[in-house]
């Protein structure tokens, strides 16, 4: 009789804390995945959908924790990157893009090893100003 009371109490305790225990388990799995696989580079600026008012901008990204080289791919009006405008290996966290074409949408992503970052995009205003 005493043992069945402990089981019922344990089941009630588990039910009360099920959400908290699930969140802790998900956090632990995420932490473990980052420790094992590391994190890849991630686009940061300009944010997705940003409209650039000038014909120049800086792209910025986080480097991640992996050791492989990072490739930067940029395409104009082509989210599939079939004919990239730029494909180069980068060692820093930013790059300046001068002479952007007004009215065009630029897509960019970072590739490290066999994984791609999310695709980011920005649009250059059709009334973009040229500052020299």
Number of structural domains the chain divides into: 2
Determine the structural domain holding residue 24 and report its residue range.
2-37
Same-domain status, 88 and 115: yes
Tokens of 112: 């490290």
Same-domain check for residues 26 and 63: no
Instruction: Looking at the structure, tell me whether residues 63 and 15 fall in a common domain.
Output: no
Shared domain check, 61 and 120: yes
Q: What is the pTM of this model?
A: 0.74
Q: Report the largest interatomic distance among the alpha carbons of the chain, rounded to a whole angstrom.
A: 86
In terms of domains, do 31 and 64 share one?
no
Instruction: Please tell me the distance from the alpha carbon of residue 73 to that of residue 85, in angstroms, as a whole number.
Output: 8
Contact between 74 and 106 under an 8 Å Cβ cutoff? The reply is: yes
Tens digit of pLDDT per residue, the chain (132 long)? Answer: 466 778 888 888 877 788 888 889 899 988 888 788 778 898 999 988 889 888 889 999 998 888 889 999 999 999 999 989 899 999 999 999 998 889 999 999 999 988 889 999 999 988 876 665
On whether both 33 and 68 belong to a single domain, the answer is no
Whether 66 and 21 map to the same domain: the answer is no
pLDDT single digits (tens) 77-98: 999 999 898 999 999 999 999 9
Q: Are residues 20 and 48 in the same domain?
A: no
Shared domain for 56 and 31, answered yes or no, is: no
């Amino acid at each position: 009789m005493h043992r069945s009371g402990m089981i019922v109490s344990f089941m009630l305790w588990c039910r009360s804390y099920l959400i908290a225990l699930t969140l802790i388990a998900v956090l632990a799995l995420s932490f473990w995945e980052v420790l094992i696989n590391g994190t890849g580079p991630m686009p940061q600026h300009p944010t997705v959908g940003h409209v650039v008012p000038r014909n120049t901008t800086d792209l910025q990204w986080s480097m991640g924790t992996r050791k492989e080289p990072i490739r930067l791919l940029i395409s104009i009006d082509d989210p599939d990157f079939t004919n990239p405008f730029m494909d180069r290996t980068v060692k820093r966290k930013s790059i300046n893009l001068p002479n952007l074409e007004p009215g065009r949408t630029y897509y960019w992503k970072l590739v490290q090893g066999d994984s791609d970052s999310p695709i980011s995009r920005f649009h250059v205003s059709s009334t973009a100003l040229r500052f020299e």
